[in-house]
Amino acid sequence: MVDVLLGLQWGDEGKGKIVDYFAPSYDVIARFQGGPNAGHTLYVNDKKVVLHQIPSGIFHENTTNLIGNGVVLDAVTLRNECDKVKAFGVDYRKNLYISERTHLILPTHRALDKASELQKGNEKIGSTLKGIGPAYMDKTGRNGLRVGDLLDKSFTTQYIKLRLKHQKLLDSMNFHEDISAWEEEFFDALEFMRQFKIVNGEYFINDKIRQGKRVLAEGAQGSMLDVDFGTFPFVTSSNTISAGVCTGLGIAPQKIKDVIGVTKAYCTRVGSGPFPTELHDDMGEELRRIGNEFGATTGRPRRCGWIDLVALNFACMVNGVTKLVMTKADVLDAFDELKVCTSYVVNGEKTNQVPFQMTKVAIEPELKSFKGWKQDVTSLKKAAQLPEVMKQYVDFIDEYLGVKVAYISNGPGRDQLIEI
């Protein structure tokens, strides 16, 4: 049996903490897409740690963690993450596995990413410049190198051939930055990677399923960044929705049971792209300040706004969400009035559907107001203790989406999660 846990907005929904919370109930935690552009923040022994590629179950001794074939892997970032994990007394070599079909991010992918953003000028996508897009382009172009290739004696020769192809592209883009230091670091990290258990990921995980093991597939980024269904072209380069679990791990659709969708009690976005409920006033600044809304990977300030139920309903639909987790509800404690977007007015016409291309239409969000609960909820432990006004806010969202908010996170700590 496989459950899926993923983000329903533009990423940064707080998935890392939620995976960490659920991890003891599962035997296997598996990442199925994305790369080091993801930043999953956890608090271990009251200390903050950010994971970018390692599954969030790594701090649970009896949990197996798999980096699936749908991920693009940066060896340098992986080594740095392992050092962080080791500092907590965790022997990552015991329970971390990597699929041999996982594609590698090369130094030239990072260079191509940077060159591409420089060329776009004011039309930048807002890439994290980690090489994710170019790595996925090589994957679909059938040029990439995979983790399993590390076991081949001809790996260096394969790398040189691909590097020459990339260099021609970089020359055509008038990009001449010296990446020799990146390459030295990359090959050192590859030697580090050889210590890992490199497995045939699809057989590995299906064997676990046949043994009756419980598997949690951990998503990165958010549904509105999906390369097909997100706010294209301001999206990531992978399928972030639940369908990506099948291709990103090699499992059949009928193996999936619950799809747990994570949403903030409000909304944020990092980088460029449409954001219908964005607040450009003091209220947006206050949300950013109280919520400490700065990217876990980039440190960039996040754009903030009210929760968008039109986009959230769309995300629930394409993912088949069966239960919701609402994070950062405590951030709204201080506000007198809260708002939720219930529909869009697109070019003068009201709709409850996400437009084909948000960037090419004028969108005005229709907002419904709610009274704020004006109460510190961070110490609450049970649903019965929640303020009535807060329950009304959550009940409205339940009814609109047709999916129940099953958990509310009322702080960053592991124990700050209330089952409804």
DSSP codes of every residue in 349-404? EEESS--S-GGGS-EEEEEEEEE---S--TT--SGGGS-HHHHHHHHHHHHHHTS-
* CB distance 12 to 268 below 8 Å: yes
Q: Give the residue from 53, 44, 56 showing the smallest Cα distance to 16.
A: 56
Per annotation, catalytic residue among 12, 113, 138, 330: 12
Number of H helices, E strands in the chain: 12, 20
Domain count across the chain: 1
Provide the pLDDT for residue 391.
97
Divide the 420 residues of the chain into consecutive groups of 10 and give the mean pLDDT of each group: 97 90 94 87 78 90 95 96 91 94 97 85 68 94 95 94 94 91 95 93 98 96 96 94 98 98 96 94 94 78 96 98 98 97 96 94 96 96 97 98 98 91
Can 52 be counted among the known catalytic residues? no
Closest CA to 55 of 65, 63, 43: 65
Q: 403: alpha, beta or left, given left = phi > 0 and alpha = psi -120 to 50? A: beta
318 found inside a domain: yes
| 187 class by beta-carbon count within 10 Å (0-12 exposed, 13-18 middle, 19+ buried) | middle
When the pLDDT of each residue in the chain is averaged and rounded to a whole number, the result is: 93
In three-state secondary structure terms, 59 is: coil
Q: What is the pLDDT of residue 50?
A: 84
Query: What φ, ψ does residue 48 adopt, rounded to 5°?
Result: -80, 135
Task: Provide the strand spans (E) within 155-282.
Answer: 197-199, 215-218, 256-264, 267-269
Could you read off the pLDDT of 61-113 as tens digits, one per residue?
A: 899 999 999 999 999 999 999 999 998 888 998 999 999 999 999 999 999 99
Task: Output the CA–CA distances (angstroms, integers) from residue 349 to 10, 22, 42, 344, 401, in the order listed.
Answer: 25, 42, 43, 8, 22
| Residue 12 among the catalytic residues | yes
Per the CB < 8 A criterion, the answer to whether 341 and 366 are in contact is yes
Long-range own/partner contacts, residues 150-153 (CB < 8 A, 24 or more apart): 150/190, 150/193, 150/194, 150/198, 151/100, 151/198
**Lookup: tokens for 153:** 């004696």
CA distance 321 to 262: 10
| Containing structural domain, residue 371 | 263-419
Instruction: For residue 105, give the DSSP letter.
Output: P
Residue at 15 is within a domain: no
What pLDDT does residue 118 have? Answer: 79
Q: What are phi and psi of 377, to 5 degrees?
A: -100, 5
Count of CB atoms situated within 10 Å of the CB of 385: 11
Q: 117 in a domain, yes or no? A: no
Say whether the peptide bond before residue 233 is cis (omega within 30 degrees of 0).
yes
Whether residue 406 is contained in a domain is answered as yes
Report yes or no on 30 lying in a domain.
Answer: no
Asked if the structure places residue 324 within a domain, the reply is yes
CATH code of residue 401: 3.90.170.10
Report the C-alpha gap between 193 and 229 in whole angstroms. Answer: 34
Rounded to whole angstroms, the Cα distance separating 226 from 43 reads 27
Q: Is 396 part of any domain?
A: yes
Strand partners, 262: 7, 325
Distance CA 123, CA 142 (A): 28
Active-site position among 3, 20, 40, 166 = 40
Q: How is residue 210 written in tokens? A: 């046949």
In a domain, 384, yes or no: yes
Rounded CA-CA distance 420/418 in Å is 6
In which region does residue 402 sit, left (phi positive, over 0), alpha (psi from -120 to 50) or beta (all else)? left
pLDDT of residue 121: 61
Q: Looking at residue 405, what is its pLDDT?
A: 98
SS3 readout for 240-266: CCCHHHHHHHCCCHHHEEEEEEEEECC
Strands 267-269 and 303-305: antiparallel
